[in-house]
Structure formats: structure tokens, C-alpha cells
Structure 1
């Protein structure tokens, strides 16, 4: 998609299709008259107003949120009117969703469109409004269609934002546009990884594709640890999950160092669970629960997308990104329930459930991340089904050992209109993870509080008092169709924008 900013516009940049907004106002009842609705279109050009008023049915269009109206100017230009509802009720999130809906409505019909941007600007905040619109459009402009013989690409290839604003503001707005597209492109790269079939995206393939994708990015260094290197690192828990696999485990270690590194530059470690497929191991999942387990690497795709965006944007923060990749399969070498395995940090773990494998991979990866001496660690994982019981399938759970870090991430989630809620880690959850035959067991004695108990387990592998936050994205990693800019089915790409916002302000 080609996006163009046209500031100082005195006429429409397209004589084919023009998009304008309309608002709705409520006219209060007086006497015996009933309350009624009316359109607010004072921001329209005289030409569009006149053409609209000539049409008899126009009196029925009031600009209700999500409503549309089409008219034609004398020169043949098509004008699409999109209702945003009550002006005071429009937020950046509603604008993001409306923009996605607009894209879906016109993508197959028109080759180009000129958006009259001033009518979509919220409270004179042009940067934030442009960001929301472009996010909504470019995230809706996503298809995972690489395996279709016949593809149906969108007809729409060019969008111009017309604005009467002074051209002196072009540089700032252009940066907003460019930066937004870097983030949405990174989200869509992550979506592709999550959506890929598990017989194609093996752990080894995943590692190679990540390295190829980030190759040549300024300030980025990379290395991959395979089975032999993981043995040297004494990552017993990670290797135990891989024992049943026909493919090598891969720990992808990425580092981004900004060009202007100083003593004040923060160093943040991102750690992601990359289970490219999860059968549950010997604690085998029922067939219905095994479908879509290709999504079990969404945590790694989430942190990689954020890392990629930060590196491409050249932000002033150092990032270490650790991705633990394997599948959890069953063969004669697979780890059995009741096995006792030693972690990288020396703790012994009784593995009572091989389907609680993500925390084992993350545990060794977290310990490894601590050795990089970051100022904070954030991990992301589709870790527990219990988080859906706690928060539903639309909210990300956050837990951790440092309230200041948690609060900053929650603030970033609010800034980007992504749903996140803090869950507790209490001493009783730690107590429930004590094993009679090892230092820890990998599941609690009951299913209650499963998300927090998993986080309590992970906390045992964060050392040196490093602030740490755990994001359980099991509920929101895929199929978030309630948001118009997310696919109804497939990877959502949510929480990447939260992480990028956090890292921008780190």
C-alpha cells in the first residue's frame, strides 16, 4: 500500500474516490417533540454539501457510528461518507477500528482513495489520529494467503491523506506515518510466523527465517544455540522439552545496540516462548485441544516483532531478545511424567505434567537472559489456559516481581488501547510448587490460580533482583475478531504495540 500526505490541500487529490467523515448529534426534545438525531457535516466542502443536500434520501443519514452513504459529484467523483457517531465519543481506538472497517469496505472496490483527514482528526491531535488510522488500515490489510494457488489481492493500492494543515507540519506527520508503518509491518511479520503451518515452521526453520528477516538491520547482532550449545549451557529443562522432537532446539539470541549508547541507556531483555507445536508430550492433549497448537510460539513472535520494530526505528534503548524454539512431541526419548530434571540455575524440577512445558523452556531462557545483565526482563508466552478462565480471551495477564515495571507496562497498554490486567503472585502459590523429591515441581497441587502459579514458577529463575514481568498471552494471541484490525481467525499481533510503546519510553 502506498500512503501519501497532502498538506495544504485546496482540492481533492483524487477525482475518483473521496472519503469524508460525518458525525451525529442528538437534538433534545422540546415540548411534545421527540428526541431526534441529525448529521454534523460542517467540515465538508461546499461542493460535497450541495451534492448531499440535493439527494432526497440524505435526510435519513445522520452519521451513526459505522453507517455509510455514497454520493457522486458533477464531475463523476465518488464521495464515500462514513459515520463516526457522537464526536465526543470518538477515541483513538474507535478510530483505529473504524479505519479498519473502512478499509475492508473499500479494498476490493477502488484502486485509490483520498481521505479528507481533518474530519477524522480527534481533538486537533493530528499525529495520534494519523497513527490510529494507519494502524487500523495497515493491520486490516493483512492476509495469510501464501498457500493458496489462486490469490485475490486487494484492488486498493494507494491512499492519500488530504489536509488543510500547513505544509510546515509535513515532516512531523511524515515521521509518524513512517514509524507507524514500521511497527505494523513488524506485527504482520510476527503474524506470518504464528500462522505458518507446523510441518513447515519447524524450530530450525523458524530460527533461520528470523535471522534472515533481521539480517542487515543496523545495530543488530545474532547467534543461535543448538542442542550441543544448550548442553554446554546446562539447559536441562529446555532440552527435556525437546527430547521427543526430531528437530534441534534453537535458542535465538538477538541484540540491538543503539548508535548512541551511553551509561544512561537502558538495557531491556525480551524473552519469548517458541513452541512451534505442542502435543502435550506424554501428557497428551485431547485431539480438540491439539488443533491450533501451532499458535504456541506466539509469545516468541510477539517479542521478536517488538524487537524488530525497535531496531528498525533505531530507538535509544538496548534490547536483548531471547527466543526459545522447539516442539513438544512424543517418541521413545520424550520426557516422562515424574522425571526429575536439573535447570540451568541448578534447581531440580519434578516434571509432573509434560504439557506444562512452556515454563520449562522459559525458565532456562530467563536464567540465560539474567546473565546478559539487563535492567529489566519481560517475557511473553501462550503459557496457560487458566488465564482465559481468569480474564477471558480478550485480556492479557501480567505478573511479575517489580510493581514499578508492571505499572509502566500497564501504562503502555493503556496508551495503545490494548487490554492487560495484573494477576497476583502470593506466597501460597510458591508453597504449592514445592516438591517432596526435588526443589520444585512444574505444576501446582490444584488447577486453581494456574496462571499465577506458572508465573511463580518462572520467578524462581529470575536472579540478581532484576525487575521482571511475565505476559500470558494465551487468551489474546489469536482470533481477536472483536477488533476490526485483527483477523477473525489467526494471529492477532496484539501486545506488540504495548511493548514498542514501553521500549520507546524506557
Structure 2
């Protein structure tokens, strides 16, 4: 969709459809009179209010959340009044969700809509309201239909944001709009990668597409390490996961350097698990659990999308992005349970379960990331089913070795209205990941605390006291239909906005 700001507007920009907000207020009970819910529309123009009140059925419309009322002005313009409920209870996440619902409703019927933006501004915060409104609309318009012979294309192409805000605010609001569209575009790219079929998005194809997508972006350098290079790097754990694959492993190394680097410029490394498909290896998954394992690379697409957005926004933070790509397949060369393999950092790992493979790829990638000397490392992975047991399928788990870092990420999650909760890594979890015949083992002695034990394992590969945070997105990487701006089925793109906000404020 194309978004256009129309500031200092004195009339509607569209003769097709005008969208206005409506709110609901409560009149307390007095005497024998019961409490009443009535329409709050003092922000409507006189002519719109007069036309609305001339319609007998308008008295039934109270502006309750999601309620709709359509009427026509004398010049033929259609006006859609959309209820946002009690304004004192509406927050930016609520606005984001309602904007998504509006988009879903309109995209099948209208080519253009003029939104009376002032009526959607919450708490007099026009910039934050613009961001939430556009995010909701853009994210809801996403479709993954590249393999459909008949595509159901959206009719909605033009959105005009009419506002009485003075034109002196144009530069600031346009910047917010442009930045929001870069982030939502990057989320769309991540969703496309995750939704793509695994027979198409092999590790080698994935690496090529990432490089093609980021090519030409100012400040970005890239390189790819294949099997030969990973052997030279002594990434035995990463290679052990790839051993059963017919396709080469790929470590994509991206670096964004801002145009003005000073001694205060922070350097953040992002590391992502890119398992383009996970059979479980010899520890084979049951058939039902193997479905949707194309989503096992969502961690890599999440950090890549955040990296992409930061680079395109030209933010003043240096970012290294490390993506570990392979599939976990079975052939005569595949790693067997009970194998002992040495990681890049020299530690030996007893691989008791080949389905606990993501942590093996991440381990070598984390050690590699440490050599880039970042100020902090954040990894993202669909790592454990245990995180769903702990937090459900709507909350991202965060663990780490530095409270200051995890608190900053949690603050960004709160700012962007994304759900995240910290899980502990206690001494006993570290002890449980030790093997009697190797330095470490890749699964704990019991399934309890599985997410934190996986993080305890990964912590052994973060060196030089670098602050590190691990994001387990296994629960929230896909099918988050409880949010109107996420597809009911398929990649969600959640946590990307959190990471961009964190990097923006680094």
C-alpha cells in the first residue's frame, strides 16, 4: 500500500471512502436511570455529525470496540465510522490490532481510503499513533501467495492520512512513516523466508537470497562460509548437524557499519539459527512433529530482518549478523547419537540426541561471533519445545548472562508491545549439561527446565565476558492469530520490532 500524509487538511482527500474513528463513553447511573454506553464523537466535523444524526438508525451506534456504521454524505462520499471503544482503555497495541482488522475488512472492497488521522491519535502522541496505525495496516496486508495459481490480490492500494496537524510537523511525521514502512517491509521479508517450502529454500538458496536482498545497501559487507571454510574454522558442531545433508552448510556473515563511527558507537552481534528443515536426524521426529519444521529457521530470519531494517534506516550502531544455515537430515553419514564432537572453542560435546541440533549450530556461531569483538551478542532461535511448556505459545523466552542487557531487551519488548519473559539459568542447570565422558552433553538429564538448560549449554560458547542474551522464539515464531496483524497460519515476524527498537537505542 502507498501511504500519503496530508497535513493541514481542510477537507476529505478521497471521494471514495473516508474512515473516521468513534469512541464510547459511559454515563454513570443516576437515581433510577441505569448506566449507559453512548457515542463519543466530538472530534467529528459539523457536516459529518449532522449527516450522521439525520439517519434514524444512527442512535444504535455507540462506538463500541469493532462496531461499524456506514453512511453517505450529500456529495456521494462514503463515510465509515469505526468504533474504538473506551478511549481511556485503548493503547497502541489495541490501535495496531484494530488498524489490522480495518485493513482486512477494506482490502477486498476498496482501492482507496482517506483516514481522518486525528481521531486515531492516542494521548496526543501523533508519532507513536502513526507508527501503530501503519504497522497494523501494513502487517495485516501481508500474503504468502507466490505458489498459488490464482491469487486473491488486495484492492486497497492508496491510504491517505488527513490531519489538521500543521505542515511544520511534516518532516518529523514523514520520517516516522518512512521508518515504519522499512521495518514492516523487513518483517515481510522474514515472513517470506520462513513460509517458503523447504524443498525450495535449501541452505544454499537461502544464503544466496539473503545476499541478493541486502546487496547495495549502504554500509553493508557480506561473506559466506561453506563447508570447506567451516572445516578451516574447526566448526565441528555445526558440521555434525550438516553431516546427513545433501546440501552445503552456509554461514552468512553480514556487517553493517554506520557512516559516522565514534568511540561511543556500540557494536552488537546478532546470531540466528537457520535450520531450513529439521527431521531430528537419527533421533527422528514423529511424522506429526515433523510438519512445519520449515519454520526451524525463523531465528535466522528474525535477526536478519532486524539487521536489514537497521541498515536501511542508517542507524548509528554497528551490527554483525551471523546466520548458521543447514538442514538436519538422515543418510549414512549423519551424526549418530552417542557421538562426541569438538566445537570451535575446543570443547567436546557428547551428542545424545541429534534432534537437539540447533544449539550445536548456534554454539559454533556464537564462538565465531565472539571473535568479532562485539559489545553484546543476541541470538534468536526456535530452540526448544520446552519454552511452550514454560510460557505458552504467545511469549518469547529470554535468558542470558548479563542482567543489564536482558533488561534493555525486555524494555524494548514492552515498548513495541511484544511479549517476552525472562527465564533463569541456575548453577544446577550448568551442572546438568556436563558429560562424564566429554566436556558437555547436548541435552539435560531430564526434560524439566529444557529451555534454560539449552541456554546453559550455549553459555559455554560465549567468551571474553561478552554480555549475551538468548531469545527462544519456538512458541511465537509462527501462527500468532491472536494478534490481528499476524497471519493465523504461517510466520509471525514477531520480536523483529523489539530487536530494531533495542538496536535503535543502543
Distance 2:443 2:423 in 1: 17
Partner of 2:229: 229
Partner of 1:444: 444
Partner of 2:11: 11
Cα drift, residue 223 of structure 1: 0.2
Q: Does 1:417 align with 2:417?
A: yes
Distance 1:138 1:116 in 2: 18
Distance 2:292 2:370 in 1: 32
Partner of 1:99: 99
Which runs of structure 2 are paired with 1:259-338 in the superposition (5 Å)? 259-338=259-338
Cα drift, residue 196 of structure 1: 0.1
Aligned Cα root-mean-square deviation (Å): 0.4
Distance 2:400 2:165 in 1: 45
Partner of 1:135: 135
Q: Which runs of 5+ in 1 are unaligned?
A: none
Which runs of structure 2 are paired with 1:56-95 in the superposition (5 Å)? 56-95=56-95
Partner of 1:164: 164
Distance 1:67 1:366 in 2: 50
Distance 2:329 2:113 in 1: 50
Partner of 2:427: 427
Which runs of structure 2 are paired with 1:335-346 in the superposition (5 Å)? 335-346=335-346
Partner of 1:177: 177
Q: Specify the SS of the correspondent of 1:144.
A: coil
Q: Specify the SS of the correspondent of 1:146.
A: coil
Partner of 1:393: 393
Distance 1:387 1:66 in 2: 33
Distance 2:110 2:75 in 1: 17
Cα drift, residue 387 of structure 1: 0.1
- Alignment deviations for residues 197-224 of structure 1 (CA, whole Å, 9 cap, x no partner): 0000000000000000000000000000
Q: Which runs of 5+ in 2 are unaligned?
A: none
Distance 2:47 2:276 in 1: 56
Which runs of structure 2 are paired with 1:195-274 in the superposition (5 Å)? 195-274=195-274
Cα drift, residue 48 of structure 1: 1.0
Higher mean C-alpha displacement, 45-54 vs 277-286: 45-54
Distance 1:316 1:64 in 2: 43
Normalising by structure 2, we get a TM-score of 1.00
Cα drift, residue 46 of structure 1: 1.1
Partner of 1:350: 350
Q: Does 1:2 align with 2:9?
A: no
- Alignment deviations for residues 296-321 of structure 1 (CA, whole Å, 9 cap, x no partner): 00000000000000000000000000
Give the number of aligned pairs: 506
Distance 2:37 2:347 in 1: 67
Q: Does 1:194 align with 2:190?
A: no
Distance 2:410 2:344 in 1: 31
Distance 2:329 2:271 in 1: 22
Partner of 1:496: 496
Distance 2:51 2:275 in 1: 57
Cα drift, residue 391 of structure 1: 0.1
Cα drift, residue 33 of structure 1: 1.3
Q: Specify the SS of the correspondent of 2:365.
A: helix
Distance 1:453 1:379 in 2: 15
Cα drift, residue 426 of structure 1: 0.3
- Alignment deviations for residues 209-257 of structure 1 (CA, whole Å, 9 cap, x no partner): 0000000000000000000000000000000000000000000000000
Q: Specify the SS of the correspondent of 1:127.
A: helix
Distance 1:31 1:349 in 2: 75
Q: Does 1:379 align with 2:379?
A: yes
Q: Specify the SS of the correspondent of 2:394.
A: coil
Q: Does 1:21 align with 2:21?
A: yes
Cα drift, residue 31 of structure 1: 1.1
Distance 2:349 2:129 in 1: 50
- Alignment deviations for residues 106-125 of structure 1 (CA, whole Å, 9 cap, x no partner): 11111100000000000110
Q: Does 1:369 align with 2:373?
A: no
Moved over 2 A (4+): none
Distance 2:121 2:362 in 1: 43
Distance 1:37 1:433 in 2: 59
Normalising by structure 1, we get a TM-score of 1.00
Q: Does 1:147 align with 2:147?
A: yes
- Alignment deviations for residues 234-290 of structure 1 (CA, whole Å, 9 cap, x no partner): 000000000000000000000000000111110000000000000000000000000
Distance 1:139 1:165 in 2: 26
Partner of 2:113: 113
Partner of 2:40: 40
Distance 1:423 1:258 in 2: 33
